[in-house]
Amino acid sequence: MRRALELAATPGVPLGPNPRVGCVLLAPDGSEIAEGFHRGAGTPHAEAAALAAAGESARGATAVVTLEPCNHTGRTGPCAQALIEAGVARVVFAQPDPNPVAAGGAETLRAAGVAVELGLLEREARRLNRAWTFALEHGRPFVTWKFATSLDGRSAAADGSSRWISNETARRDTHRLRAECDAILVGTGTVLRDDPELTVRDAVDAPLARELQPLRVVMGDRDIPADARVLNDLAETVQLRTREPKAVLAELHARGRQHLFLEGGPTVAAAFAAAGLVDEVVAYVAPKLLGAGTSAVADLGIGSISEALDLKVTDITVLDDNVRITATPRKKA
């Protein structure tokens, strides 16, 4: 299964809209027969790729797959049926398919006499496709809020200047994270003030970043200039004329977007956070003290320390002299 997870995570495989899946076929004696992985929408699924490589050797084999074999016909046929027709005797998969359209493969396999086991390294498999899984289970995109701040929590100085609070290494890391999402959002205020381009440019670890630019999303009802860089032809852009985070996420979900990278200013960030619609926080903290200026997040309506938005730190990484802190909101008891 670990090998199947490695295959699913092959560099260059798109992060969406389909899940990343790997498959390994084993002979009755445990030796490997063939392997395969899904290379993106419209290409053969992992099981089909492995079966094609195995040929007649697949009969009596065990298929080890990171995701429950699909049970529907889309641009490709159902993998559960392909495994049955190939004579596979046993299927072990990590994560049940949360997609109601494609689920049911395990039942189909069992009905055909195939032995089925599930749950092996499920946590690792869910992590591999966390945004895809989250979007299906919650009906909205996973939201990562990223911001850069001084040591005393300021995103800009008293005169409004903010370039650059974070260092170059942190900024390059931001582009890496942008490349892992399929939508980037800012408010109209950020567009009017900073004129950002909101594209993936410096992601050295994302070879397809230039070809697979995230959707640029501008939230707010103010008009933006026709020559704003966010409207150039380097990526698709949509302006959603609302201040309601739930409405934004509903529209992005309808567009098939699974992971939103929230880069808006303090007001937009506060709107999402106050609505309980931030699933991950990535803060780049620079060793600077400003003493005054714009706070990293606007008023959250919190009156006492007991009401604070409590976060669980999941990673701390030093990027030269900046610190990246990744955290997730703790669930209220």
- Residues flagged as binding site for Zn(2+): 45, 70, 79
Alpha helices per DSSP H over 129-282:
130-138, 168-178, 188-194, 245-254, 266-274
Say which of 35, 47, 68, 280 is annotated catalytic: 47
How far is Cα 279 from Cα 328, in angstroms, rounded to an integer?
Answer: 6
Is 244 labeled as catalytic in the residue annotation? no
Determine how many CB atoms are found less than 10 A away from the CB of residue 284: 22
Residue 171, both tokens: 């900024």
Half-sphere exposure in the Cβ direction for 222 (13 Å, CA) = 10
What is the longest distance spanned by two Cα atoms in the chain? 71
How far is Cα 58 from Cα 47, in angstroms, rounded to an integer?
Answer: 11
Annotated binding site for NADP(+): 148, 164, 190, 194, 265-271
How far is Cα 278 from Cα 314, in angstroms, rounded to an integer?
Answer: 15
Annotated binding site: 45, 70, 79, 148, 162, 164, 178, 190, 194, 198, 201, 263, 265-271
Distances (CA, A) of 148 to 154, 198, 308: 8, 15, 20
Annotated binding site for substrate: 162, 178, 198, 201, 263
Helix (H) / strand (E) element for 51: namely helix 46-54
Contact between 147 and 177 (Cβ < 8 Å):
no
Contact between 166 and 263 (Cβ < 8 Å):
no
List, in order, residues 6 or more apart from 198 with CB less than 8 Å away: 184, 186, 214, 216, 230, 235, 263
Q: Which residues are catalytic?
A: 47
